[in-house]
Amino acid sequence: MITDLVQIKRLGEKKLKENEMFRRHMKAHYFPERQFRHVAEDIESNTDCRACANCCRVAETNISKRDIERLAKFLGMTSNQFVEQYTTMSVQDENEIILRRNDAGCIFLDGNDCTIYEARPDTCQNFPHLVRGNGSIQSRMWQMIDRATYCPIVYNSLEQYKEIVGFQMGMKK
């Protein structure tokens, strides 16, 4: 299993096209869901996210109304105060509200620690959405191509998925 973040970035970017073809392959065929979940669970349980925290540095953090209410309560402020102080609009999707960011990533990241861990947004609790998430893994695959460039759980899971289904670059859909 590869955990080095420099390698993950290099390999994930090198495999962008391959992973896009793999996504289409997954979409075009039926595969029992359980095997993918087991692989991701196994990789996730062997990964120390506290030592990584790369998603907090790299990815935007979408937040819901429910997250805002929970976080405002946790920080002892009103929802409006929280929105004003800690949120901004996504640069990737103009309809999404995200947590503010600074040069180090998420505004609540301190070193590798989340300073609001107990009340962190749902998306952080479920990240990278391979083990926990709505819909089938096949339907979530489009998000995984980018995530495989910075998340060791996703990169290693995709590599094992390819082995399970016998996927090779260049094979017909």
Applying CB under 6 A, the residues found at the interface with ligand SF4 are 47, 49, 52-56, 61, 99, 106, 108-109, 114, 116, 120-121, 124, 127-128, 150-153
Question: Which is closer to ligand SF4, CB of 33 or CB of 113?
Answer: 113
Q: Taking the complex as a whole, how short is the minimal distance between the CB of residue 8 and ligand SF4, in angstroms?
A: 9
DSSP-assigned beta bridge partners for residue 98: 62, 88
Alpha helices in 15-151 (DSSP H): 16-28, 33-45, 49-52, 54-58, 65-75, 79-86, 122-126, 137-147
Question: Which is closer to ligand SF4, CB of 69 or CB of 168?
Answer: 69
CB atoms under 10 Å from CB of 168, counted, come to 11
Residues 6+ apart with CB under 8 A from 131: 37, 40, 41, 44
Q: Taking the complex as a whole, how short is the minimal distance between the CB of residue 54 and ligand SF4, in angstroms?
A: 4
Q: Taking the complex as a whole, how short is the minimal distance between the CB of residue 92 and ligand SF4, in angstroms?
A: 15
Can you read off the two tokens belonging to residue 138?
Answer: 């096949």
Can you read off the two tokens belonging to residue 12?
Answer: 């994930």
Question: Which is closer to ligand SF4, CB of 23 or CB of 101?
Answer: 101
CB of 172 closer than 8 Å to CB of 72: no
Query: How far is 16 from 37, CA to CA, in rounded Å?
Result: 22
Q: Taking the complex as a whole, how short is the minimal distance between the CB of residue 62 and ligand SF4, in angstroms?
A: 10
Question: Which is closer to ligand SF4, CB of 51 or CB of 163?
Answer: 51
Question: Which is closer to ligand SF4, CB of 18 or CB of 146?
Answer: 146
Q: Taking the complex as a whole, how short is the minimal distance between the CB of residue 70 and ligand SF4, in angstroms?
A: 11
Query: How far is 15 from 27, CA to CA, in rounded Å?
Result: 18
